[in-house]
Structure 1
Amino acid sequence: MTPPRSPRTRSDDPGVDRRSFLQTGTAALALGPGALAAPGASAQEAGEAPKPGGEPEWRNRQDGMAYRRLGRTNLMVSEVVAGGDPITPDNYRHMLRAIERGLNYLDMAPAYHDGGTEEAWGKLIKEPSVGRDRVFLATKVSPLNRVRNQMYKDAFDKLPAGEQEEIRARADEIIERRGVKKPGYFLTYFPGQPDSYDPAYLRIAMLAEYRDRVEDNAILRDTIVESLEGSLRRLGTDHVDILMCPHGADAPEDLDSPAILDAFKQLKQQGKVRFLGVTSHNDPAGVLKAAADAGHYDLVMMAYNVVNGGYVDDAIRHASDKDLGIIAMKVAMAVATHHTPLQPVPDWRIQKVQRIVPGDDLKAPQKAYVWALQNPRIAAVISNLWDETYIAENLALAGRKVELQPA
């Protein structure tokens, strides 16, 4: 189903052993926006991206599309890649046009339309003009956070009231110290997003006592494996190129889990996945730095836009210097949204992107994408392509160069 016409947006190194992971995975846990660049910093200041290494892997290379290397994966991805939110078994055929124009990366998750997005992409790659080997497929482990949170909550509920209060206070202190709710760093991109903080930081406050019994638990490993196997069934293929795990990491600690590493190594050995990634809305700088320092993550898809950019540019430089691939999401969601409860978007955000990106030929969401793509350390921006109009407007932004203006 196509939404009403509104601003066009929404958006391997498995040889690392467990000891090394646990030693490095928490190296950046204290990182918060207060330690990052000033909010006025821009994508223009990011400098040059590191030089590529290894042989690039091309798919669906077409004239008129620009491509960038996705970090150490060596995947050459289109500068604009496809988000899964608008894609359903009844709304996917317009994406044939995007493939014709050189788009080559399809994002999805079991949580999108209860697996319907994966089913739809499965139909797309079976089209005679597409085929599995013409695109890169990236899915996520949507159930992990829910299962993990419940395991910690079950333990929490058995504690005396006094201990519960101590844990709640510790969780609140961590949130405050890291500044993860700082306006400008934290943005609400979808209804219910702020509700994820309480269970996430309750879990983090319990890690010292409960990490081993939860994070090294067969239940989590099985959750990851079963989620990916379900995705493969819906897609009708035997492997995906990228597995994002967790789906929506709330904090750096979310990556510090032997279950994730063990499940990924198993799935990779079985030929079901190639690269490991993570996505983050709530603490993108902290999660990005933790992924870079962990060593076995290959890429991060993170919230990055004209509002939070100054808070995350230092983390982007750090991760890029370690050859981590970076895809920017929620780029246009800072200036436009299809979520009615979040409308209207504050006008100052729209005015900011209008000032930064010159020209009168682009809408604010398109300017937001152009802004992000001026950062050479960003491999791609993810865009929800609801129909052929979105495809025409947003894919045309690939390769566009502008001189960004002061905010």
Structure 2
Amino acid sequence: MVDQRQQNERSQVTPEIERRCFIQAGLASAGTVLATSVLPSQIVSAAVPPQMTNSGANQIPRRPLAKTGEQVSIIGVGGYHLGSVKSSDLAVRLVQEAVDAGVNFFDNAWEYNDHRSEEWMGLGLQGRRDKVFLMSKVCTHGRDKKVAMQQLEDSLKRLGTDHLDLWQIHEVIYENDPDLHFAKGGVVEALDEAKKQGKVRFVGFTGHKSPAIHLKMLAHDYPFDTVQMPLNCFDATYRSFEQQVLPELQRRGIAALGMKSLGGDGQPIQYGVVRAEEALRYAMSLPVATTICGIDSLDVLHQNVEIARGFKPMSPQEMQALRERCRPASGDGHLELFKTTKKYDGSVGREQHGYPTIAELPL
């Protein structure tokens, strides 16, 4: 298992070699290992976030989506939570109020909530599609291009649109995922075909489990426009996407999309480790284009909109102080269950990889 190797084989490498590890396929296949955890004093501060525009009074600031020429709101609406609210009426209202408040980045995935997430978001975007940057994800989990192209048609129909602004490979979390995705006839070929057909403008990939797997994807040198990953004030000291992946995205000019700013399910907020405003402000202070938020109520939407409207980036000193404060509660990864457990692993992906579903696992 990669996690066990990470614990047992702490590589001693120079900063330049560490930066380049997994970028060359030869190094990746040789099993170069990244450190699982680091001390706060070892953390290298990330570069300053991109310049914001549209930052007047009562406006949600926007940032460039790297080299695409697009500007996206510094917070985005996550599709998963949208499909889990109590009714389609509430979901539609959440979408409409978010758009009207100035949020223009919308996230979704083909498999979320038995497709309700896309269907309900599509209802909410009726009459507002031209005001948003719409993303969904393809969920082949190793299946071929034909499956991917059918999923694209499904997503377009549910979302009520003739194109996606961004189409990402969903949940790249298993060690063999990069090889499956880049295999002949695999999902990466579908990305190319969808762009050629004009049904997709930009492409990327997502994952929440391991920075090493993200770097294996990047080692293929495919021209991704975006990469989505967990970025929060707990991440930096354990199997860190901020420390290991974010610098490589900056080097390549790929837009970083942050998620799980509250630790995945808000557990650190419930335990009093950090306040929601602090956690979200930290995530938005990183060099990301947007931070995608799970929004399942009008109260949460209004809170996030107000935080975004009043956002001022943390200084490096503030960020370091918050990491130091969080480390006793986060240094072993137990506040990021998406990294350390199977709780957040999608059932479709587990099934396609031949693993038991979460419900079938022993307690």
TM-score, scaled to structure 1: 0.62
CA distance in 1, matches of 2:49, 2:251: 8
Alpha carbons 1:98, 1:391 under 8 Å: kept: yes
Identity of aligned residues (%): 25
Match of 1:47? 47
Q: Does 1:123 align with 2:123?
A: yes
AA at the equivalent of 1:65? I
User: Do 1:255 and 1:291's aligned partners in 2 also have CA atoms closer than 8 Å?
Assistant: no
Contact 2:171 2:207 in 1 (8 A): yes
Letter in 2 for 1:267: A
How big is the shift at 1:278?
A: 0.7
Unaligned runs of 5+ in 2: 1-22, 325-363
Of 140, 144, 147 in structure 2, the residue corresponding to residue 223 of structure 1 is 147
Written as runs of structure 1 = structure 2, the 5 A alignment for 1:213-362 is: 220-251=144-175, 252-253=178-179, 255-258=181-184, 259-288=186-215, 290-291=217-218, 294-310=221-237, 311-312=240-241, 313-333=243-263, 336-337=266-267, 347=271, 350-351=272-273, 354=274
Change in 2 beyond 3 A, CA 1:386/1:112: same
Match of 1:102 in 2: 102
SS in 1 for 2:45: helix
Q: CA deviation at 1:293?
A: 5.5
Q: Determine the structure 2 residue equivalent to 1:70.
A: 65
- Higher Cα Rg: structure 1 or 2? 1
**Structure 1 residues 291 and 395, CA, compared in 2 at 3 Å: closer, same or farther?**
farther
Structure 1 residues 367, 44: CA separation in 2 closer, same or farther (over 3 Å shift)?
farther
Match status 1:366 vs 2:361: no
1:95 shift after superposition? 2.4
When the two structures are aligned, how many residues end up with a matched partner?
A: 283
Task: Check whether the contact 1:332–1:366 (CA below 8 A) recurs between aligned residues.
Answer: no
What is the CA–CA distance in structure 2 between the aligned matches of 1:51 and 1:367, rounded to whole Å? 20
Superposition CA RMSD, Å: 3.2
Within-5 A mapping of 1:29-48: 30=31, 32-34=33-35, 38-40=38-40, 45-48=45-48
Counterparts in 2 of 1:39 and 1:275: CA distance versus 1, 3 Å: farther
1:392 and 2:302 equivalent?
yes
Q: Deviations over 1:212-265 (max 9, x none)?
A: xxxxxxx61111111111111111211101111143443454553342232111
Distance in 1 separating the partners of 2:28 and 2:51: 25
Distance 1:26 1:124 in 2: 47
Query: Which among 381, 392, 398 is matched to residue 291 of structure 2?
Result: 381
> Contact 2:108/2:117 (CA < 8 Å) preserved in 1?
yes
1:68 deviates by 1.2
CA distance in 2, matches of 1:299, 1:292: 15
Higher relative contact order (CA 8 A, sep 6+): 1
